[in-house]
Copies of this chain bind each other. A is one copy, B any other.
Amino acid sequence: MTSVRTPLPPVSPAGVLGRCRELVEPALREAVGTLHPWPRRMASFALGWCEADGTPVTGGGGKGVRQALAVLGAEAVGAAGDEGVVAAVAVELVHTFSLTHDDVMDGDERRRHRESAWRAYGTGPAVLAGDALFALAVETLARHGGGHTGAAVARLAGSLRELVRGQADDLLFEERPWTGAAAVRPAEYEAMAAGKTGSLLACALTLGPVLADAPPPVVEALGEAGRQLGAAFQAVDDLLGIWGDPGTTGKPVHGDLVRGKKTFPVLAALAADGPAARELAALLSPGVPLDAVSARRAAGLVEAAGGRDAALAEARSRVAAARECLYGVPLAPRTVDELVALTGFLVDRRL
């Protein structure tokens, strides 16, 4: 007997994100509510729930991609609802922790159209808020109970190790030249992006399945899908860091070029041979911060040398690879539809 898959109504990325947010937010607010009042205030600010002074706001915060992936990962293997929620809470807390500390390390003053936490509260308090979020993530997951909690916590901590590794590389890349023997190689860039972005997306998709003791090949396929999505996500972030609309991204125009950040489009452009690549190399080689005019010129040269197209192609091919992973193992079909809709959104957001 073969089963015929009934066509289901199409899913919208916004609908999926909204549904998952509704599932997760009460538990996330409950967890954050247990913190000491001061880190609680700062954590709520970092999560987009309030202004720096504690005034509640609505509609703030990030897109909630990671929490949605955690819910969908659990649903894809038929895990209990609370397993997806606890996974989503842990992943969202770790993500907010990492944004808070990364902004300290990178000196980024803006985040999601507002001051970053260290600008709003000072460096020391922002470090403390990050630590509180980190500890809360681990505690939330560890207290979930069940026989597979240890494995789930080990997975979360392993993704934190990879986050740290990626952030360390990213910081070290800033010291390295654009050209010559010491320049950042594409493989190094990919490893950095895998750590900084892919590890947490892989963790998000697999945490619920690990709690639910899903078969290892299924967990592995979801993890690989997460890593591929991470690479796509990073490539799109890199595109937005150069060509994104500041009104949408909440970050300055050409910001990554002004800061001399090593990103996929620029590295791809420099790796291309041709007059635009050579002029770009000459512009960047002194290693001094670019002014607005030079940054605009650099953005044009990256595009002319094919860097913009290469990054977009990279994002699309990684998303295709992620979808292959999802189609290759038995997962709940409706959830796969929702995951696929989200992967499309990751590439097309604000481009």
Contact = CB atoms under 8 A, between A and B. Distances in A.
Interface of A: 34-36, 38-39, 101, 104-107, 123-125, 127-128, 130-132, 134-136, 138-139, 142-147, 149-151, 153-154, 156-158, 160-161, 163-165, 167-169, 171-172
B36 A164 contact: yes
A205 B146 CA distance: 24
Given A38-B172, A139-B158, A105 B128 contact: yes
A195 to B, nearest CB: 9
B123 A164 contact: no
B104 A168 contact: no
Contacts of A150: 142, 144-146, 149-150, 153
A156 to B, nearest CB: 8
A139 B124 contact: no
Q: For the complex, would chain A's binding face be called helix, strand, loop or mixed by DSSP majority?
A: helix
Identical copies of this chain, number: 2
A157 B138 contact: yes
Given A124-B171, A127-B101, A127-B127, A39 B153 contact: no
B36 A131 contact: no
Nearest to A138: B157
Contacts of A123: 104, 123
Contact of A139 (B38, B127, B157): B157
Nearest to A131: B164
Given A142-B154, A169-B36, A172-B38, A161 B149 contact: no
A145 B167 CA distance: 28
A139 B160 contact: yes
A139 B154 contact: yes
Contacts of A172: 38
Given A36-B165, A150-B142, A104 B124 contact: yes
